[in-house]
Chains A and B, each alone.
Chain A
């Protein structure tokens, strides 16, 4: 008979209709699936007892497989596709990126020429997710009803949207995307504890990430992130392999070198539990080459890599304006943190015993599965876990200034709206430019989307109103509605974030906003003065067109046009005070004109009307 698992009270599932909610750690090197069974998180194993599934997608003419490349010809394999998801062609460092085939693309997305079709990183990631879905559903004999997928904390809107698209493409319902460090903190149950500042030290196979989280009333905020996308366990293996090669004075071809590298990985893992290991290169077909390596040797060889991770961690800590004493917990994530000296160094450096009792390969998936279980309603726990947006969202206003609509670190889901008005008389359309970033000037922020609100009824400047509503869902994905308030017409707006930004860009954007705060304020004042100057010129010119010659002498008209010219000249410069002064002198010159306009308008209105009506 079918074997049963214990359910939560009242949540027993009907036969033949089993539904599962899983957490997916979609990793750069490996991916995992976890789910809550019998009240506790379990990592899913396939029929060969594997639980780490390589994030490698292999295309051949006939089929697509996920996992180790098959030993066949005419095969194109993609690994580390996570580095490319949500990126455009200009986001790629061509020196560092090796593509297995021809590729092209635009600012938003890459396209690989795989045999006779074009494949995007979203589709490639989707193959990995499809593979995980198939393993899960065949092992558990049921359907995945919903999943929580983890993403790095520094992933921007485009990368998150692309990850969600990849899930959608293979028919997975994403309940939400969860930040990897947040998932690790959930796995350790920190969301229910009295902690406020947590450092997550994540050393994987090929990447190193550090995040500082702050926890406040069940809300995780990412205070700072940092890392090195080219530092991981593989670098430890390379150093060890080089050491062995030098020590034994052997020449190796590329194939043998790779074998030695794989052997070095094995040695590294043995040294986690043993003080020393006898190396015999017989194993890779080289005779009479033997060596004993102790853990101490290994630690000496790789010392600089460990030091580098600590330097980065310290930098991130100072970015978040914290010191080591402020940290309540440190969590170790990633298989490479099994190396005993990592734990020791972290402990000594931060003077705190790091949390490491959950398998560091699994901890992110475990956290995601706990979150998936809560969101599915299967758990009796009532926890509302929130995330925050990493960068502010706003729109461009006149003068290329940014007006923030949803500030950075707002908890999501959230929505916020603002009303905007027209700048010119009779303006019938409004162009909306959505940007992301912390700077005051549009060109210093990242452009997310542009769209136009059409069919605004012709009205005086400032009379027409467009209401913009920003909504961010639980995944940090943005949608915008623009309503023209006089007609009530809603412009159907689909915001497709322009794909592509690197994590270092995000960091840089945050840092720049602090470094340039003073300059930004100056710039803002200058731009504001310029907008005001242009507005005044526009208003006076349109008034002059109507009744200038009627109400003013030629001399007076000349005086005004001189003042306008002066202001126009000052607007081209970059001195805020000069502009403001020019505006003032223009307004002074126009004073009599404004009075006369007022009088003549009143006369026009009052003409032929009994004075008594005005009492």
Chain B
């Protein structure tokens, strides 16, 4: 089981963590909400729980709750620009369907 991160995304996370001045890494996960079942969560992490799974990738600690990992296994985290917006993107092989706006998904 693994989660990976692209170079571009890793650079961004590093910059954001430095700007923020604290934090041990990046927490990713899913939560049940939205129009198609689930939504991705991406947050700064200030602490790591005992039960968390941690992936060390390109100098970034990616922290995931094991339950969320079931939905995220094999996901690659990318940072891209689309038109005006730039932000993070989950490329998740487990995803089966997605709501029209792309903000939530189901497996």
**Which A residues fall within an 8 A CB radius of B?**
1-12, 14-16, 38-40, 45, 47, 139, 380
Contact = CB atoms under 8 A, between A and B. Distances in A.
A15 B88 contact: no
Interface in B26-61: 26-27, 31, 33-35, 39-46
B85 A3 contact: yes
B46 A9 contact: yes
A6 B103 contact: no
8 contacts: A1-B102, A2-B101, A3-B85, A3-B86, A9-B27, A12-B31, A39-B20, A45-B84
Contact of A3 (B17, B44, B45, B82): B82
B42 A4 contact: yes
Contacts of A40: 16, 19-20
Given A12-B31, A38-B16, A7 B43 contact: yes
B43 A15 contact: no
Nearest to B95: A1
B26 A15 contact: no
Interface in B6-33: 12-13, 16-17, 19-20, 23, 26-27, 31, 33
A6 B44 contact: yes
Interface of B: 12-13, 16-17, 19-20, 23, 26-27, 31, 33-35, 39-46, 80, 82, 84-90, 98-99, 101-105
Given A1-B98, A11-B43, A40-B19, A6 B31 contact: no
B101 A16 contact: yes
Contacts of B44: 6-9, 39
A15 B104 CA distance: 7
Nearest to A138: B84
A1 B75 CA distance: 14
A380 B27 CA distance: 16
A372 to B, nearest CB: 17
B48 to A, nearest CB: 11
Q: Which of B12, B44, B46, B105 has the most CB of A within 10 A?
A: B44
B35 A16 contact: yes
A9 B45 contact: yes
Nearest to A3: B87
B89 A139 contact: no
B16 A9 contact: no
Given A4-B89, A6-B26, A39-B20, A12 B80 contact: no
B33 A15 contact: yes
B39 A15 contact: yes
Given A14-B39, A40-B19, A40-B20, A2 B88 contact: no
B47 to A, nearest CB: 8
Contacts of B98: 1
A99 to B, nearest CB: 38
Contacts of B105: 1
Given A15-B34, A16-B103, A3 B43 contact: no
Contacts of A5: 42, 87-88
B43 A14 contact: no
A380 B46 CA distance: 10
A6 B13 contact: yes
A6 B33 contact: no
Q: Which of A6, A11, A40 has the most CB of B within 10 A?
A: A6
B43 A9 contact: yes
Contacts of B84: 45, 47, 139
A352 to B, nearest CB: 25
Contacts of A9: 27, 43-46
Contacts of A3: 80, 82, 85-89
B17 to A, nearest CB: 8
B43 A6 contact: yes
Nearest to A8: B44
B91 to A, nearest CB: 9
B92 to A, nearest CB: 10
B43 A10 contact: yes
Q: Which of B43, B89, B103 has the most CB of A within 10 A?
A: B103
Contacts of A7: 41-44
Contacts of A2: 87, 101-103
Contacts of B12: 38
A33 to B, nearest CB: 14
Given A1-B89, A7-B43, 6 more contacts: A3-B80, A4-B88, A5-B88, A7-B42, A8-B43, A12-B39
Contacts of B40: 4
A435 B72 CA distance: 64
B28 to A, nearest CB: 10
A8 B19 CA distance: 13
A342 B9 CA distance: 40
A16 B35 CA distance: 8
A565 B76 CA distance: 98
B84 to A, nearest CB: 6
Nearest to A13: B39
A5 B20 CA distance: 14
B41 A15 contact: no
Contacts of A139: 84-85
A12 B99 CA distance: 19
Contact of A39 (B16, B80, B87, B103): B16
A6 to B, nearest CB: 5
A8 B22 CA distance: 11
B36 to A, nearest CB: 9
A172 to B, nearest CB: 22
A247 B84 CA distance: 46
Contacts of B101: 2, 15-16
A188 to B, nearest CB: 14
Contacts of B82: 3
Contacts of A47: 84
B82 to A, nearest CB: 6
